[in-house]
């Protein structure tokens, strides 16, 4: 295991405000990890790194039962929420642990599948994280990662405040030493981490119905004002409260359109050593 733990210093751009956790809890294996599902057969062991509130992890548990799924996140509070979700859903073959992606507390070659969803984009050293994920994967197993690509996002109609939001998000994430355009870099990162067999795919999240637009606008309208994103924007001097209020209002204006479209592309790789 590595002796250095940059995870201790990595800054999570989104934070764990209720609006963020609520959005993450809407993710399922089907809508966020479909590329992994063919590899999730009964009896398979899974490590879900950066599991968040556990919604994807619990779905994995249902697919691999009686195999065991372990969800890991660096926030003990989020681990408690994930554990509660497993109890609520009656998932008996999943456990949740607090831990560090750069220093996984598992023996070499422990898991058939090691998965991370929307994690690498927030790290200062995604290649080192992938090396550590590779270490705990069994021979013949896979490391599966999926990350959004922020500069690949597109929307309609043109809302100047959403352009401001994108610029602000890029500045904050890069100030944190992270890479918001992670999706397009996954193949490169996996190769740098020593994987010789890397299979890339991509998939989208699309918000283009009235319900989807309202949901997305509400999520980001709130996060712009109240999450760690807002706190960092103010702390770094990249925006003032009036700027954030204007951007939030722009999100809600987009959400109230009848023909709005917001597309989030995601890069995906299945990597084998």
- The DSSP 8-state label assigned to residue 6 in this structure reads G
Q: Quick one: which H or E segment has residue 218?
A: helix 210-226
Please state, rounded to an integer, the average pLDDT across all residues of the chain. 92
Give the CATH number of the domain where residue 153 resides: 3.40.50.150
pLDDT in tens, 191-244: 999 999 999 999 999 999 999 999 999 999 999 999 999 999 999 999 999 999
- Specify if 209 maps to a domain: yes
- List the domain range (segments joined by +) for residue 211: 18-272
* Percentage of the chain lying above the pLDDT 90 cut: 88
Rounded to 5 degrees, what are φ and ψ at 237?
Answer: 75, 20
Does residue 7 or residue 218 have the better pLDDT? 218
The model's confidence at residue 26, banded by pLDDT at 50, 70 and 90, is confident
The pLDDT assigned to 94 comes to 97
- Specify if 9 maps to a domain: no
Q: Are 124 and 216 in contact (CB under 8 A)?
A: no
Count of domains forming the chain? 1
- Specify if 105 maps to a domain: yes
- Specify if 182 maps to a domain: yes
Measured from the Cβ of residue 70, the count of other Cβ atoms closer than 10 Å reads 24
pLDDT in tens, 41-68: 999 999 999 999 999 999 999 999 999 9
The pLDDT assigned to 2 comes to 34
Angle of CA points 191, 54, 204, to nearest 5°: 55
Tell me how far apart the alpha carbons of residues 147 and 135 are, in angstroms, rounded to a whole number: 21
Token readout for 129 is 């994280």
Tell me how far apart the alpha carbons of residues 243 and 260 are, in angstroms, rounded to a whole number: 23
What is the dihedral sign for C-alpha 64, 69, 75, 79?
A: positive
Q: pLDDT at residue 15 above 80?
A: no
The pLDDT assigned to 141 comes to 97
- Specify if 143 maps to a domain: yes
The pLDDT assigned to 3 comes to 35
Q: Which of 6-10, 85-89, 96-100, 107-111 is least confident? A: 6-10
pLDDT in tens, 153-167: 999 999 999 999 999
What is residue 130's three-state secondary structure?
helix
Tell me how far apart the alpha carbons of residues 24 and 169 are, in angstroms, rounded to a whole number: 18
């Amino acid at each position: 295991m590595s002796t250095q733990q940059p995870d201790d210093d990595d800054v999570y751009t989104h934070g764990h405000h209720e609006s963020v956790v609520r959005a993450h809890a809407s993710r399922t294996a089907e809508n966020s990890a479909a590329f992994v599902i063919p590899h999730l057969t009964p009896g398979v062991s899974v490590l879900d790194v950066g599991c968040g509130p556990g919604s994807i992890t619990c779905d994995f548990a249902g697919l691999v039962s009686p195999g065991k799924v372990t969800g890991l996140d660096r926030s003990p509070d989020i681990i408690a929420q994930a554990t509660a979700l497993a109890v609520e859903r009656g998932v008996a073959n999943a456990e949740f642990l607090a831990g560090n992606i750069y220093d996984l507390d598992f023996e070499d070659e422990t898991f058939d599948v090691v998965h991370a969803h929307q994690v690498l984009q927030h790290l200062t050293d995604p290649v080192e994280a992938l090396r550590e994920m590779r270490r705990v994967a069994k021979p013949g197993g896979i490391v599966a990662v999926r990350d959004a690509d922020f500069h690949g996002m597109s929307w309609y109609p043109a809302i100047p405040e959403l352009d401001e939001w994108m610029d602000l998000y890029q500045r904050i994430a890069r100030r944190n030493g992270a890479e918001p355009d992670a999706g397009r870099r996954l193949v490169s990162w996996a190769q740098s981490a020593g994987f010789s067999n890397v299979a890339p795919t991509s998939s989208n999240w699309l918000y283009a119905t009235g319900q989807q637009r309202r949901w997305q606008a509400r999520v980001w309208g709130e996060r712009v004002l109240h999450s760690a994103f807002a706190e960092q924007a103010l702390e770094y001097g990249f925006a003032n409260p009036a700027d954030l209020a204007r951007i939030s209002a722009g999100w809600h204006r987009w959400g109230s359109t009848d023909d709005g479209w917001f597309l989030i592309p995601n890069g995906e790789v299945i990597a084998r050593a």
